[in-house]
Amino acid sequence: MENMDVMVLRSLRDWRKKGQRAFLATVTRTWGSSPRPIGSIMAMCESGAVVGSVSGGCIEDDLIARFTSAYSSPVSAQEAPKEQLEGKPLRLKYGITADEAHRFGLPCGGTLELVIEFNPDPQLLETLVSDLEHGLLVSRTLDLQTAQVLQSHVHSPTDLEITDSHLMNTFGPEYRMLIIGSGQMSEYLATMALFNGFSVTVCDPRIEYKDSWALKGVQLSAEMPDDVVLSFKPDQRSCVIALTHDPKLDDLALLEALKSDAFYIGAIGSRKNNQSRHQRMVEHFEQTQETLKRLRGPIGLYIGSKTPSEIAVSIMAEVLAVKNKVVLPKEMDVAQAKSHIT
C-alpha cells in the first residue's frame, strides 16, 4: 500500500491541474484523545470527492457538508463564504464542548484543530509529489495570512510546527523495511508492512528460496545482505529485520545496519540465540554491549505467538510502536516475559 500522504497530495495535484477547486486539510493540534495524529492530511475536491483522513469519519462528513454547500451556493449555511474558499487559510476547531466531541466521534472530550488550505498551486504540488516519488524529504511552509507556500529539501524530518503566521509540515519518503530472508515468516511480515504503508525490500542470496516468493509489491534482491544494507542506506524512516537464523547472512548485515540511523534493527531468535549473537559480535567484530544496544532481540511483542503468522504480527506491532515512539511496558518484552514462564 502506498504512503497515504503521497496518495492525498497526488489526488490534490490532479484536481488542481484540471482547474478544479479543492482544499487540503491538516491536523495541526490535538488536545486529549483524537483519532488521527498531528500532521494527518486529507484533500477534498469541489465535487465532494475526498482522499485521506483527519478523523474517524464524522469530521470528514462535516467538512464535505460544509464546503460542498459553499462551492454550490453564494453563501453557505455553515458560515463558509464563497470568497473565503479562494482566500487565506482557515483554522477550524472540533470538539471544544462535550456535545461536539460526542457528535464528531472524538473520545474522552478530545479536541483537534485543522488548517484548511484552499486551492493550492498545482505547479508546486507537481514539484512536491515528484520530489516525494523520488524519495526526497520536503519541508512545506504555508503562510497563514497570504496563503503563499515555500518548499525546500531537508535532510531530516521534523515535527509539524504552527504559529500565528505559519504552518510548517515535513513530507518525506515512505517508511521502508528491509527484511533479510525470504521464508514464510518474511512473507507474512512483508504483507503487514505493505498494508501499513511501508516500502518493502527482501534480501536473500539463497537460490533455494528464490522461486518460492509469491508476494507482489516487494523489491527482491539476491545480493549478500550486508551489501544490500549498504545500498539500501537506512535512514530515520527505515527498519532492518533479520529473519534467516543464519549468522553468515544476518550478522554482517546487522552490523552495517547499526552504523545507520535506522529506527529499528532486530533479529529473530530465542533468548539463547540472541545471547550467542551478541557474544559473536563482541568476540569477532570488536563490538561492545554499548554498540549493540540498538540491536533488538528476541524481536516482537510478547503475545504468546507460536506460528509464523502470529510471530510476524508481534514483530510488526513492535516496529509500529517504536516508529510511533511508544514506550512499551517491560511485560511486553519477549525475553522478559518468557523468563517468568520458564
Instruction: Tell the burial category of 100 from Cβ atoms under 10 Å away from its Cβ (0-12, 13-18, 19+).
Output: middle
For position 69, what pLDDT does the model report?
67
For position 207, what pLDDT does the model report?
80
> What phi, psi does 297 have (nearest 5°)?
170, 140
For position 82, what pLDDT does the model report?
47
For position 160, what pLDDT does the model report?
93
Which residue, among 164, 176, 167, 113, has the nearest Cα to 139 in the 3D structure? Answer: 167
Residue type at position 275: Q
pTM of the full structure: 0.68
For position 110, what pLDDT does the model report?
65
> What phi, psi does 26 have (nearest 5°)?
-125, 130
Q: Which residues contact 247 (CB under 8 A, 6 or more apart)?
A: 277, 280
The DSSP-derived string for 267-322 is E---HHHHHHHHHHHHHHS---TTTTTTEE-S-SB-S---SHHHHHHHHHHHHHHH
Distances (CA, A) of 271 to 115, 275, 339: 49, 6, 9
For position 231, what pLDDT does the model report?
94
For position 172, what pLDDT does the model report?
80
Q: pLDDT 10s digit of each residue in the chain, 342 long?
A: 557 888 999 999 999 999 999 999 999 988 765 567 889 999 999 988 999 988 766 788 888 888 876 666 544 434 444 445 567 899 998 875 556 555 655 555 567 899 999 999 999 999 999 998 877 889 999 999 999 999 999 877 788 999 999 999 999 877 899 999 998 999 999 999 988 888 899 999 988 776 777 788 888 999 999 999 999 999 888 999 999 989 899 999 999 999 999 999 999 988 899 999 999 999 998 889 899 999 999 999 999 888 999 999 999 999 999 998 888 887 777 766 666 655
Structural domains in the chain, sorted by start: 4-171 (no CATH), 176-341 (3.40.50.720)
For position 267, what pLDDT does the model report?
95
